Chain A
């Protein structure tokens, strides 16, 4: 009886199945038609005067006096008094300036044709309001020595502004040109005369206006119709937020985005970069070296406090193989902490090139004897070190593994530990590491802002240098360099500190990083600003 009912049920059910499959087919057909139709209509309306750029991060809060936003976005909307270029500091919102003989007073003559995009005129009063707003939040800008040096800000006349300093602080103009905090926002955006607790709008004098922002989705920048300078050739830039690197690549291949731009593997990893380069369908550009990638060696730890061990490590790491094999030649080999192109850094330091024999003999002389397992020991303790890296950075992981094999060759056991970024930063601050990654900030921050940060306890550099015999001298010397008015003397002082750091083997320099750009061939005018954090959209066009 049961088998009979099965047959009957079966016929009925086959009918159900048939109608079900038909329904799915019809549904899929309509879906497909609809999508294609939409795509066509989109193609007709899309004009190539909008650049679609993908970033893994949202622009966030672009208040130029704070640090919560993406610098590339802040740079699009807000401008500075002076501009840092490859040729040096040039006039920008200030058309000229005078520096007093004692280097303590700067008088800026402002352009008279500048207005904010809301129509508010740009004048000395606005400059003072902005600089006062920055200074009322001094502790937040402690990393930037200029904020500590300013002791007077006054309006001379409508278009003349005077800045007074406590000391003849030499990087004044460079620091005024930085993306933040000395950029100008319309006073109408201030809240109770301040900007430190947020702003009510993002109105600047720059070539772009933030027209629309949907958090974590996109930001639309349109050409500023009131812009005083040469207007951008593009009508708009759409900053799309795409957290996944693979999705960014697929979007580029599909033509949904036109440009990928970034440094240190944060936007595009090296394998993908190589693949796109080989594919030949896209244009790729590499900037000149901008920042330094190095390994910090902690001078305060039981094993690495020994200078001989630190020196052996310098010779044991094959940087050339890292630059060629892991970084695919997208970065150049670094033999000194800062490249010779960095101001004050072409001082003829003797490079410590890969030399396994020398590394071995240094350790041997220092009493580290190789045991039967190929591990060096001294006083019954093995030469065991720990290197920490940011687990999300694929490049750092590969480099760490390579260094691990390099050190194994000289009998050093290197334990490599990938950590979540915040834990990695916490470790920097506490100094709880033998070896750790260090990246300099690149131009225009190197060398002055970078060395200035060596004096701050929250930095890994400070922690790693704590075991140095002359650490106190180093900190005093850095402070003195920053306010040394005499160029020649300053150069000598820089030579002294960089030589000391080099001889003490605090850093194992690895490579000089470069900014990378991948874009569709129809996009022209792609280039780089001196700062790796800015993107010169205003020069791009189709």
Chain B
């Protein structure tokens, strides 16, 4: 397994280089002139003199490849550049917004795992029963509901009508309750389905029949069923962490949380290229790492896969 991890880590280098080039190149393909955008973002009339001065200030007068290598060199040294808009290092901006997003994504993750495992298992145990139908009804509704609408409904009901939580803000933990619920809903629905279906499929396996024939305790049989059903669940959940981090945008906007999602959307609208590039790179790395982590975890749980590897 250690070999697999090393191999994957070594492969990371060309992959990251490729990603860095694509994300730098794509952002630079945008038709807007960054110098002009910077001026506009700061409400300055982009006169030709101001644009040319800004070109020099941003180093845009240098050739594309030179700019790319300078950017890459900076990143290796931990310097992601300076935000066009705020003139604050991008890394500091990200560090400031990251905790909010991590708390939101982390709490949602725990809730999703809890709901996915427990409700998925319940559905599988009571397959075809009323409970299963109700829960599946919830799953379909939750998956179909857009999160901005669900968020506003939660806000209206729990914050305005029941007065249990604040409408918005991240000043204390209560501010995270509704965003976590909103963010978890659609994700949890997916994982409840995965868990339920895999468990039902596992029921049909011969080793389960064998275990039952041997007269093993029911709980022991269920335990084996769950362990075998965990593999697709873990892979899916592992990939959900970066998806959760990336998917907080709408929820953060509705609930006024100053997280990474809002930082990124704002950067996109104001064409804050260094910020967008850093965000894309950060998300790409997160996806790759969590993918690796899920693979390792699955191999650790299932010795058969280790032997195959």
Contact = CB atoms under 8 A, between A and B. Distances in A.
Interface stretch (A251-259, A275-283, A523-531): A251-259
A113 interface: no
A95 interface: no
B141 interface: no
Contact of B174 (A16, A38, A60, A254): A38
Nearest to B33: A426
Nearest to A257: B167
Contact of B37 (A143, A247, A422): A422
B168 A251 contact: yes
Interface stretch (B16-24, B191-199, B232-240, B252-260): B252-260
A216 B170 CA distance: 11
Nearest to B155: A250
Contact of B168 (A1, A60, A242, A426): A242
B173 to A, nearest CB: 10
A244 interface: yes
Contacts of A1: 212-213
A143 B163 contact: no
Interface stretch (A223-231, A302-310, A456-464): A456-464
Interface SS of A by simple majority: helix
Contacts, number: 141
Nearest to A2: B212
A244 B256 contact: yes
A421 B254 CA distance: 20
Interface stretch (B41-49, B72-80, B274-282, B288-296): B41-49
B106 interface: no
Contact of B218 (A12, A251, A457): A12
Contact of B49 (A31, A139, A217): A139
Contacts of A35: 164-165, 174
A142 B122 contact: no
Contact of B40 (A8, A197, A425): A425
Given A9-B125, A243-B253, A20 B118 contact: yes
Contact of A246 (B43, B85, B152): B152
Contacts of A67: 42-44
A395 interface: no
Contacts of B47: 139, 142, 456-458
A1 B125 CA distance: 17
Interface residues of A, number: 57
A216 B97 contact: yes
A426 B45 contact: no
Interface in A1-37: 1-2, 5, 8-9, 12-13, 16-17, 20, 31-32, 35-36
Contacts of A244: 148, 253-254, 256
Contacts of B37: 422
Contacts of A254: 159-160, 163, 167
Given A214-B258, A457-B48, A422 B160 contact: no
Contacts of B254: 243-244, 246-247
Given A422-B37, A422-B271, A256 B125 contact: no
A142 B160 CA distance: 48
A426 B53 CA distance: 19
Given A12-B219, A36-B164, A458-B46, A215 B258 contact: yes
Contacts of B222: 9
Contacts of A197: 87
Contacts of B159: 250, 254
Given A5-B212, A67-B44, A216-B263, 19 more contacts: A2-B212, A9-B125, A17-B131, A20-B118, A32-B164, A35-B165, A60-B86, A139-B50, A198-B87, A240-B256, A243-B254, A244-B148, A246-B152, A247-B168, A422-B270, A425-B40, A456-B45, A456-B47, A458-B47
29 contacts: A1-B212, A1-B213, A9-B218, A9-B222, A16-B125, A17-B122, A17-B131, A20-B122, A31-B177, A35-B164, A35-B165, A60-B86, A68-B43, A141-B44, A142-B45, A143-B45, A215-B96, A215-B258, A216-B258, A216-B263, A217-B169, A240-B169, A246-B254, A247-B167, A250-B155, A251-B167, A422-B37, A422-B40, A429-B36
**10 closest cross-chain pairs (CB), A and B:** A216-B258, A67-B43, A143-B45, A251-B167, A217-B258, A35-B164, A242-B256, A67-B42, A243-B253, A142-B47
